[in-house]
Amino acid sequence: MNVLVTGGAGYIGSHAVKFLRRAGHEVVVVDNLSRGFRAAVTGETPLVVHELCDWRHIARVLRGNAIDCVMHFAALAYVGESVDDPLRYYRNNAAHAIELLHAMRTVGVQKFVFSSTCATYGEPKPEHIPISEDCPQQPINPYGWSKFFVERVLTDYSRANPDFSCAILRYFNVAGSDREHEIGEAHDPETHLIPIILQAALGLRPHVEIFGTDYSTPDGTCIRDYIHVEDLIDAHILCMDRLQPGTRFIFNLGIGKGYSVRDIINATQRVTGKKIKVIEGPRRPGDPPRLFADPGRIRRELGWSAKITGIDDIIDSAWGWYSRHPNGYAGRLD
Ligand code: UFG
């Protein structure tokens, strides 16, 4: 298939590019490089540096490359930033997605795989954990709302267009890198737990701060579901392969197990063999205490389940990239 990957220079999108090509697909990337890195686009994949809101240009890219399916990863994804600048998030994540869909409609591209998030569930009630796709969606920040909004658009657009098909994939916490450790997780600024602990293990930070130790969890710290990026992208490719006119998949992507912040710190110490200095700080506003998936629906409907489920293996994969690229893409980026 010919696949357009938006956000293909970002962490998850760059893995999609690599694994799609490995699976024999032709790939074109569109990325504005506002958060992504040219060096993350591997294998001489064509990279169009452009804004998605320019639907006429995007339509030309779709037509010129005979695109069959769009995988849409391009988004801003900092919860705190979305609270400070909601308009930016609604424009970038919601309005631009609509322009992209408009470009697709103009050219007749009917397959869409959308990167959504467990943040659309907000703070689920204890009886909804593990979280299934039927859990009520009540985002608690503009980032979650911006993704939820696109889900809503896709639902309505699908109903009105029987030939359109889409997969809405709600990610839990994505981690790890490709086996060759060619690409990996790099954000600027870095806010994600595993990269931060790895930076501390490398001596690039003096310590890791635990945001809150008084949650109603066994060790008092927040619990999350960490899914390996390779498993995550396998699910995308499987969904894409199964899209038929009228299909609308909605799946959670997680492993179905939760690990606390302390679990992750302990696992990282085991994997790296480094002692990591930990300080205990206050809660970070907006962090739900427990989020982990019930990934049963995609297992039942498509037979997918995560293969890499040991937390040490997931962290070892992230460490493989981080230890080789302690400064991320710095020094070799666009
Ligand atoms: N944490 C720390 N210290 C740090 C960084 C994180 O204790 O220095 C904690 C957080 O408080 C949280 C856990 O580690 O409890 C994981 O935090 P991350 O920032 O790595 O990930 P989040 O769970 O906050 O974020 C993920 C996705 C977001 C999405 C969100 C939904 O990365 O895109 O889940 O809740 F919006």
Q: Is 7 exposed, middle or buried (0-12, 13-18, 19+ CB in 10 A)?
A: buried
Query: Which of 6, 311, 261, 252 is closest to 120 using CA atoms?
Result: 252
pLDDT digits (tens, 9 = 90+) for 31-55: 999 999 999 999 999 999 999 999 9
**Rounded to 5 degrees, what are φ and ψ at 211?**
-85, 85
Q: Please, how many CA atoms are within 13 Å of residue 206, restricted to the half-sphere of its CB?
A: 1
- Across the range 232-258, mean pLDDT stands at 98
pLDDT in the model for residue 186: 84
The enclosing H or E element of 270 equals: helix 261-272
Same domain (yes/no): 233, 319: no
pLDDT in the model for residue 327: 85
Tokens coding 212: 């809150």
Query: Which of 201, 224, 171, 173 is closest to 322 using CA atoms?
Result: 201
User: How many Å lie between the centroid of ligand 1 and the Cα of residue 211?
Assistant: 9
Same domain (yes/no): 276, 212: yes
Q: Is 185 a domain residue?
A: no
Same domain (yes/no): 282, 200: yes
Domain with 203 in it: what CATH number? 3.90.25.10
pLDDT above 70 (res 334): no
Q: Is the CB of 140 under 6 A from ligand 1?
A: no
Q: Is 276 a domain residue?
A: yes
Mean pLDDT, the chain, as a whole number?
96
Q: Is the CB of 196 under 6 A from ligand 1?
A: yes
Same domain (yes/no): 14, 115: yes
Amino acid (one-letter) located at 30: V
Q: Which domain holds residue 263?
A: 193-224+257-329
Q: Is the CB of 79 under 6 A from ligand 1?
A: yes
pLDDT above 50 (res 73): yes
Hey, which of 76-85, 182-191, 240-249, 277-286 has the most confident mean pLDDT? 240-249
pLDDT digits (tens, 9 = 90+) for 148-170: 999 999 999 999 999 999 999 99
pTM greater than 0.95 (yes/no): yes
Contact 107, 50 (CB under 8 A): no
pLDDT in the model for residue 191: 92
pLDDT in the model for residue 285: 84
Tell me how many domains the chain contains. 2
Same domain (yes/no): 170, 117: yes
- Cα(243)–Cα(2) distance, integer angstroms: 14
**Rounded to 5 degrees, what are φ and ψ at 70?**
-110, 130
- Cα(62)–Cα(3) distance, integer angstroms: 9
Please state the atom number of ligand 1 nearest to the C-alpha of residue 261. 14
pLDDT above 80 (res 273): yes
